[in-house]
Structure 1
Amino acid sequence: MTKTKIAKGMTMSSLVVSDIKKAKRLFVDILGLECTEHAEEHNWMEFKGDQGGYIGVGAPCEEGMTPGVNATLSIAVDNIEEAKAHVESHGIAVGDIIEVPGHVKLAPFKDEDGNEFFLAQKLD
Protein backbone atom coordinates (compact mmCIF):
# COMPACT_ATOMS: atom_id res chain seq x y z
CA MET A 1 0.00 0.00 0.00
CA THR A 2 1.44 3.37 -1.05
CA LYS A 3 1.28 6.01 1.63
CA THR A 4 0.11 9.48 0.68
CA LYS A 5 1.49 12.28 2.79
CA ILE A 6 -1.19 14.92 3.38
CA ALA A 7 -0.24 16.18 6.85
CA LYS A 8 2.43 18.85 7.25
CA GLY A 9 2.39 18.68 11.04
CA MET A 10 0.32 19.49 14.09
CA THR A 11 -0.15 23.22 14.31
CA MET A 12 -2.59 23.90 17.08
CA SER A 13 -4.63 22.37 19.83
CA SER A 14 -7.94 24.06 20.48
CA LEU A 15 -10.36 24.22 23.36
CA VAL A 16 -13.98 25.22 23.64
CA VAL A 17 -14.59 27.46 26.64
CA SER A 18 -17.65 29.11 28.12
CA ASP A 19 -15.93 32.46 28.76
CA ILE A 20 -13.13 33.59 26.45
CA LYS A 21 -12.10 36.46 28.79
CA LYS A 22 -11.54 34.00 31.64
CA ALA A 23 -9.48 31.83 29.28
CA LYS A 24 -7.34 34.84 28.36
CA ARG A 25 -6.76 35.52 32.04
CA LEU A 26 -5.56 31.93 32.54
CA PHE A 27 -3.30 31.70 29.51
CA VAL A 28 -1.84 35.24 29.57
CA ASP A 29 -2.05 36.57 33.12
CA ILE A 30 -1.51 33.32 35.00
CA LEU A 31 0.51 31.08 32.64
CA GLY A 32 2.38 33.86 30.83
CA LEU A 33 1.65 32.84 27.23
CA GLU A 34 1.49 35.46 24.49
CA CYS A 35 -1.88 36.25 22.88
CA THR A 36 -1.06 36.21 19.15
CA GLU A 37 -4.59 36.44 17.74
CA HIS A 38 -7.83 37.89 19.09
CA ALA A 39 -10.71 37.73 16.63
CA GLU A 40 -13.57 39.16 18.68
CA GLU A 41 -16.04 38.74 15.81
CA HIS A 42 -15.38 34.98 15.90
CA ASN A 43 -15.04 34.64 19.71
CA TRP A 44 -11.54 33.25 19.15
CA MET A 45 -8.06 33.74 20.63
CA GLU A 46 -4.70 32.07 20.03
CA PHE A 47 -1.84 31.77 22.50
CA LYS A 48 1.76 30.62 22.15
CA GLY A 49 4.75 30.07 24.34
CA ASP A 50 8.47 30.53 23.85
CA GLN A 51 8.97 26.97 22.58
CA GLY A 52 6.38 27.12 19.79
CA GLY A 53 3.01 25.49 19.37
CA TYR A 54 -0.33 27.22 19.71
CA ILE A 55 -3.47 26.85 21.78
CA GLY A 56 -6.64 28.14 20.14
CA VAL A 57 -9.53 29.01 22.43
CA GLY A 58 -13.06 29.78 21.35
CA ALA A 59 -16.67 29.87 22.38
CA PRO A 60 -18.97 27.10 21.09
CA CYS A 61 -19.78 27.78 17.44
CA GLU A 62 -21.78 24.69 16.50
CA GLU A 63 -23.84 21.90 18.03
CA GLY A 64 -21.84 19.36 20.01
CA MET A 65 -19.02 21.70 20.98
CA THR A 66 -19.28 21.66 24.76
CA PRO A 67 -16.91 23.58 27.03
CA GLY A 68 -14.81 21.43 29.33
CA VAL A 69 -15.16 18.11 27.54
CA ASN A 70 -13.08 18.41 24.41
CA ALA A 71 -9.77 19.49 23.05
CA THR A 72 -9.10 19.29 19.33
CA LEU A 73 -5.79 18.82 17.56
CA SER A 74 -5.40 20.60 14.22
CA ILE A 75 -3.40 18.89 11.49
CA ALA A 76 -1.93 21.26 8.91
CA VAL A 77 -2.57 20.47 5.24
CA ASP A 78 -1.82 22.33 2.00
CA ASN A 79 -5.17 21.62 0.31
CA ILE A 80 -8.12 20.89 2.55
CA GLU A 81 -10.37 19.58 -0.21
CA GLU A 82 -7.76 16.99 -1.28
CA ALA A 83 -6.97 16.07 2.33
CA LYS A 84 -10.67 15.62 3.14
CA ALA A 85 -11.15 13.36 0.10
CA HIS A 86 -8.06 11.33 1.02
CA VAL A 87 -9.16 10.76 4.63
CA GLU A 88 -12.70 9.87 3.51
CA SER A 89 -11.28 7.38 0.97
CA HIS A 90 -10.01 5.43 3.98
CA GLY A 91 -13.48 5.13 5.50
CA ILE A 92 -13.22 8.00 7.97
CA ALA A 93 -16.12 10.46 7.99
CA VAL A 94 -15.06 14.10 7.69
CA GLY A 95 -17.44 16.95 8.38
CA ASP A 96 -18.18 19.93 6.18
CA ILE A 97 -15.38 22.40 5.54
CA ILE A 98 -15.75 25.48 7.74
CA GLU A 99 -14.03 28.70 6.66
CA VAL A 100 -12.99 31.57 8.88
CA PRO A 101 -12.58 34.14 6.08
CA GLY A 102 -9.00 35.28 5.63
CA HIS A 103 -7.70 32.95 8.34
CA VAL A 104 -8.28 29.22 7.98
CA LYS A 105 -10.37 26.41 6.50
CA LEU A 106 -11.19 23.54 8.88
CA ALA A 107 -12.71 20.08 8.39
CA PRO A 108 -13.57 18.13 11.56
CA PHE A 109 -13.20 14.37 11.96
CA LYS A 110 -12.85 11.78 14.73
CA ASP A 111 -10.70 8.70 15.09
CA GLU A 112 -12.06 5.30 16.13
CA ASP A 113 -11.84 6.30 19.82
CA GLY A 114 -13.82 9.49 19.34
CA ASN A 115 -10.82 11.84 19.61
CA GLU A 116 -11.49 15.06 17.70
CA PHE A 117 -9.28 16.53 14.99
CA PHE A 118 -9.39 19.30 12.40
CA LEU A 119 -7.74 19.21 9.02
CA ALA A 120 -6.54 22.82 8.83
CA GLN A 121 -5.49 24.88 5.82
CA LYS A 122 -4.19 28.36 6.65
CA LEU A 123 -5.35 31.08 4.32
CA ASP A 124 -2.78 33.76 3.57
Structure 2
Amino acid sequence: MALAPVDNRITLALSVKDRHASAAWYQEKLGFELRYHLDEAGWSEMATNTEGVTLGFGEQEEPNPGNCVPVFGVADIDAARSALEGANVRFDGPTEEVPGMVKLATFYDPDENALMLAQDLSQTG
Protein backbone atom coordinates (compact mmCIF):
# COMPACT_ATOMS: atom_id res chain seq x y z
CA MET A 1 0.00 0.00 0.00
CA ALA A 2 1.20 3.51 -0.83
CA LEU A 3 2.31 5.72 2.03
CA ALA A 4 0.35 8.77 0.82
CA PRO A 5 -2.71 7.66 -1.15
CA VAL A 6 -3.45 10.17 -3.87
CA ASP A 7 -6.87 10.60 -5.41
CA ASN A 8 -7.88 10.64 -9.06
CA ARG A 9 -6.97 14.29 -9.63
CA ILE A 10 -3.70 15.77 -10.82
CA THR A 11 -2.74 19.34 -11.59
CA LEU A 12 0.21 20.07 -13.87
CA ALA A 13 1.65 23.37 -12.65
CA LEU A 14 3.54 25.60 -15.07
CA SER A 15 5.34 28.87 -14.38
CA VAL A 16 4.25 31.61 -16.78
CA LYS A 17 4.81 35.34 -17.21
CA ASP A 18 1.12 36.25 -17.79
CA ARG A 19 -1.55 33.83 -16.53
CA HIS A 20 -4.37 35.56 -18.40
CA ALA A 21 -2.54 35.41 -21.74
CA SER A 22 -1.57 31.78 -21.13
CA ALA A 23 -5.16 30.85 -20.30
CA ALA A 24 -6.37 32.51 -23.51
CA TRP A 25 -3.73 30.62 -25.53
CA TYR A 26 -4.60 27.22 -24.05
CA GLN A 27 -8.32 27.90 -24.52
CA GLU A 28 -7.89 28.98 -28.15
CA LYS A 29 -5.29 26.42 -29.22
CA LEU A 30 -6.25 23.33 -27.18
CA GLY A 31 -9.87 23.94 -26.23
CA PHE A 32 -9.22 23.94 -22.47
CA GLU A 33 -11.78 25.68 -20.27
CA LEU A 34 -10.87 28.37 -17.73
CA ARG A 35 -11.82 27.28 -14.22
CA TYR A 36 -10.73 30.50 -12.48
CA HIS A 37 -8.12 33.21 -12.02
CA LEU A 38 -7.06 33.73 -8.39
CA ASP A 39 -5.30 37.05 -8.87
CA GLU A 40 -4.40 37.60 -5.21
CA ALA A 41 -2.42 34.33 -5.24
CA GLY A 42 -0.99 34.69 -8.78
CA TRP A 43 -2.64 31.43 -9.83
CA SER A 44 -5.03 30.31 -12.58
CA GLU A 45 -6.47 26.92 -13.46
CA MET A 46 -7.85 25.38 -16.61
CA ALA A 47 -9.82 22.18 -17.07
CA THR A 48 -8.11 20.06 -19.70
CA ASN A 49 -9.86 17.63 -22.01
CA THR A 50 -8.70 14.73 -19.80
CA GLU A 51 -10.90 13.91 -16.82
CA GLY A 52 -9.17 14.58 -13.50
CA VAL A 53 -6.29 16.55 -15.08
CA THR A 54 -6.05 20.30 -14.49
CA LEU A 55 -3.48 22.73 -15.87
CA GLY A 56 -2.35 25.38 -13.38
CA PHE A 57 -0.43 28.58 -14.07
CA GLY A 58 1.75 30.19 -11.44
CA GLU A 59 2.67 33.70 -12.49
CA GLN A 60 6.35 34.59 -12.15
CA GLU A 61 8.38 37.55 -13.35
CA GLU A 62 11.03 35.15 -14.69
CA PRO A 63 9.24 31.86 -15.52
CA ASN A 64 11.26 28.68 -15.75
CA PRO A 65 10.24 27.07 -19.10
CA GLY A 66 10.20 23.29 -19.11
CA ASN A 67 9.60 23.12 -15.37
CA CYS A 68 6.32 21.26 -14.84
CA VAL A 69 5.39 20.29 -11.30
CA PRO A 70 2.84 17.47 -10.93
CA VAL A 71 0.45 18.26 -8.07
CA PHE A 72 -1.27 15.20 -6.57
CA GLY A 73 -4.60 15.55 -4.81
CA VAL A 74 -4.91 14.03 -1.33
CA ALA A 75 -7.79 13.95 1.16
CA ASP A 76 -5.61 14.71 4.21
CA ILE A 77 -2.36 16.53 3.47
CA ASP A 78 -1.11 16.35 7.06
CA ALA A 79 -1.41 12.55 7.15
CA ALA A 80 0.07 12.17 3.64
CA ARG A 81 2.99 14.43 4.47
CA SER A 82 3.64 12.69 7.77
CA ALA A 83 3.71 9.28 6.05
CA LEU A 84 6.15 10.49 3.40
CA GLU A 85 8.40 12.25 5.91
CA GLY A 86 8.42 9.01 7.91
CA ALA A 87 9.79 7.34 4.76
CA ASN A 88 12.59 9.94 4.51
CA VAL A 89 11.03 11.98 1.71
CA ARG A 90 12.38 15.55 1.76
CA PHE A 91 9.91 18.44 1.80
CA ASP A 92 10.59 22.08 0.94
CA GLY A 93 9.47 24.07 3.96
CA PRO A 94 6.14 23.96 5.77
CA THR A 95 2.76 23.17 4.24
CA GLU A 96 1.27 26.35 2.77
CA GLU A 97 -2.40 27.28 2.85
CA VAL A 98 -4.59 29.54 0.76
CA PRO A 99 -7.54 29.85 3.20
CA GLY A 100 -10.75 28.31 1.92
CA MET A 101 -8.96 27.12 -1.22
CA VAL A 102 -6.06 24.69 -0.85
CA LYS A 103 -3.19 23.37 1.29
CA LEU A 104 0.06 22.65 -0.58
CA ALA A 105 3.31 20.88 0.26
CA THR A 106 6.30 20.58 -2.08
CA PHE A 107 8.52 17.48 -1.89
CA TYR A 108 11.27 15.92 -3.99
CA ASP A 109 11.94 12.59 -5.65
CA PRO A 110 15.43 11.00 -5.55
CA ASP A 111 16.50 13.02 -8.62
CA GLU A 112 15.39 16.34 -7.04
CA ASN A 113 12.30 16.69 -9.24
CA ALA A 114 9.73 18.83 -7.45
CA LEU A 115 6.31 17.32 -6.77
CA MET A 116 3.44 18.64 -4.71
CA LEU A 117 0.60 17.39 -2.56
CA ALA A 118 -2.64 19.39 -2.53
CA GLN A 119 -5.67 19.18 -0.27
CA ASP A 120 -8.75 20.91 -1.71
CA LEU A 121 -10.30 23.09 1.01
CA SER A 122 -13.06 24.54 -1.21
CA GLN A 123 -15.29 21.47 -0.75
CA THR A 124 -15.24 21.57 3.06
CA GLY A 125 -17.47 23.70 4.93
The answer to whether 1:115 aligns with 2:117 is no
Determine the C-alpha separation between the residues in 1 that align with 2:40 and 2:48: 24
Give the Å deviation of 1:48: 1.3
Aligned position for 1:101: 99
Aligned position for 2:30: 31
Give the Å deviation of 1:109: 0.5
Preserved CA contact (<8 Å) 1:46 1:54? yes
Q: Secondary structure at the match of 1:91?
A: coil
Preserved CA contact (<8 Å) 1:10 1:73? no
The answer to whether 1:58 aligns with 2:55 is no
Aligned position for 2:79: 82
Give the Å deviation of 1:25: 2.4
Preserved CA contact (<8 Å) 2:4 2:79? no
The answer to whether 1:46 aligns with 2:50 is no
Gaps of 5+ in 1: none
Q: Deviations over 1:24-74 (max 9, x none)?
A: 12211222210012111112111113332110111139xxx9431411111
- Greater than 3 Å deviation, 4+ residue runs: 2-5
CA RMSD of aligned residues (A): 2.1
Determine the C-alpha separation between the residues in 2 that align with 1:109 and 1:49: 25
Determine the C-alpha separation between the residues in 2 that align with 1:77 and 1:43: 22
TM-score scaled by length of structure 1? 0.84
Q: Secondary structure at the match of 1:8?
A: coil
Determine the C-alpha separation between the residues in 2 that align with 1:78 and 1:14: 19
Identity of aligned residues (%): 28
Preserved CA contact (<8 Å) 2:15 2:64? yes
Determine the C-alpha separation between the residues in 2 that align with 1:103 and 1:13: 17
Change over 3 Å in CA distance of 1:27–1:114 after alignment to 2 = same
Change over 3 Å in CA distance of 1:3–1:22 after alignment to 2 = closer
